[in-house]
Amino acid sequence: MKLLTHNFLSSRFLKNVATGYPLLLRVNEKELREVEFDQDFVQNIMPKVDYNCLVSTLMAIGEQGALPNELPENWRENEELLKELHRVLVKIEVIVGELECPESGRVFPIKDGIPNMLCQEDEC
Amino acid sequence: MSEGLPTPDYSLSIEQRESVYEPAEDTFLLLDALEKDIKKLRALDARIVLEIGCGSGVVSTFVAQNLGKHAFHLGTDINFVAARCTRQTARMNRIELDTIQTDLIRGLRLDRVVDILLFNPPYVPTESEATTDIERTWAGGPTGRGTLDRFLPEVPRLLSSQGVFYLVALHQNDIPSLLNHNEKELKGEIVMQRRCGIEHLYILKFSRI
């Protein structure tokens, strides 16, 4: 699971959960994938990304690196920043870990790089 | 079978074939329809592509291979073996995509950002609901639309302003009612149809009005 995917996950479907976002991420095993830098990809996708969610998650897993806490206005022209965004969005791959609902504490496992968001009928 | 654009490489193990739908006529009809529309799809400059029930991963991989590199590809499947199979097929073709094990789009926060949405649902009318993973890949309940009818109301919420939704359907699913299932927000059209043995298959495409 890439952190870009994590950015689009929430546990709002659970009973009595208002936003369920961001999900807390814990990593037991991760890898860095070889993905060719693609500036257009980063420029395309960033407007859809919740930057606060990204940064707080990176901080939690010790991967914030050189990323600033706030996205600077000129991010589109800053190649170093675009490269770092590319690294954290698509190169870091969580293989084993878990996601936790910030409100209910419900845990969703990640196995073989695949988060499991299934729940029982009475949970949602 | 697509003639111009190559079909992705894939290889399902015996274990995978017990629970994952193997690419068949319906899969290839969807690939043909996507190929027919490929110029339009490229012109969308899609950011997010989402496939529901990604199964073998052939469809998502095909789109990723032929769309260009700048989109993010996601697939969901209720079956873990299928979600893993999609990743495997993507990697085999050197494509980056992520999969999520879930029911349809549960857990996804993708309001109005999906530019290309794909679904080859379990469309075959069956007397009873599916009970095993492999049955769930094709058995659609009495109308053949059990799973699809749960998903259709979500479509307008997912699609971006330029978003398109491709759907595989069977004649018995009632094509006219599918095309008009949400007349206020979506317009539907038939992109392709083909008789394959006893199945009369359709590829429908929906976009925002």
Residue A66's pLDDT is: 86
Angle, vertex CA B114, rays to CA B111 and CA B118, nearest 5: 125
- A9·B109 Cβ contact <8 A: yes
Best A52, A117, A119, A123 residue to mutate vs chain B (most B CBs within 10 Å):
A117
Shortest distance, CA A116 to any CA of chain B (angstroms): 5
Q: Which residues of A touch B48 (CB under 8 A)?
A: 45, 48
Lateral strand order in the sheet of A92-100: A24-32, A92-100, A107-111, A114-115
- A115·B101 Cβ contact <8 A: yes
Residue B3's pLDDT is: 55
Tokens matching residue B178: 């599918």
Lateral strand order in the sheet of B186-196: B98-101, B72-77, B48-52, B114-119, B159-170, B199-208, B186-196
- A8·B110 Cβ contact <8 A: yes
The CATH number of B17-201 is: 3.40.50.150
Domains and CATH numbers, chain A: 3-116 (2.20.25.10)
What is each CA distance from B106 to A13, A32, B146, B153, B154, in whole angstroms? 7, 27, 17, 13, 10
Best A114, A119, A124 residue to mutate vs chain B (most B CBs within 10 Å):
A114
Point out the residues of chain A with pLDDT beneath 70: none
Shortest distance, CA A16 to any CA of chain B (angstroms): 15
Q: Three-state SS string across chain A, please?
A: CEHHHHCCECCCCCCCCCCCCCCEEEEEEEEECCCCCCHHHHHHHHHHCCHHHHHHHHHHCCCCCCCCCCCCCCHHHCHHHHHHHHHHHHHEEEEEEEEECCCCCCEEEEECCEEECCCCHHHC
Residue A105's pLDDT is: 98
Strands B186-196, B199-208: pairing kind = antiparallel
The dihedral region occupied by B53, where left means phi > 0, alpha psi between -120 and 50, and beta the remainder, is left
What tens-digit pLDDT sequence spans chain B (209 residues)?
445 899 999 999 999 999 999 999 999 999 999 999 999 999 999 999 999 999 999 999 999 999 977 899 999 999 999 999 999 999 999 999 999 999 999 999 999 999 999 999 999 999 988 889 999 999 999 999 999 999 999 999 999 999 999 999 999 999 999 999 999 999 999 999 999 989 999 999 999 99
Q: Decide if the complex's ipTM is over 0.90.
A: yes
Residue B9's pLDDT is: 96
